[in-house]
Amino acid sequence: MGNGEVLTRTACLVRYGRLGWVALFSATDELNAEHGDSVVIQTERGLELGELLSNVAEHHVGDV
């Protein structure tokens, strides 16, 4: 990195699991989803289905 480049990542808030855990996840690819959509997430338990609680946003790495 250099020459004024800013590293960003896509982050979104997701509710998942039977207990309704909420966490911030980053997307590896471009994510075209909105609040309320279902998303597949990778957790320590494997792949899980979650509900998107926020709109997808790009953040500077370190801000998230």
Digit-coded pLDDT (tens) for 12-58? 899 999 999 999 998 877 778 889 999 999 999 999 999 999 887 76
Dig out the tokens for 23 from the structure: 């966490």
Backbone φ/ψ region at 7: left (φ over 0), alpha (ψ -120 to 50), beta: beta
Model confidence, pTM = 0.71
Q: Nearest to residue 9, comparing CAs of 24, 23, 22, 26?
A: 26
pLDDT number for residue 30 = 76
List CB contacts of 25: < 8 A, sequence separation 6 or more.
Answer: 11, 12, 13, 14, 41, 50
CA distance 27 to 14: 11
In a domain, 25, yes or no: yes
Total domain count for the chain?
Answer: 1
In a domain, 3, yes or no: no
Range(s) of the domain holding residue 47:
8-60
pLDDT number for residue 41 = 93
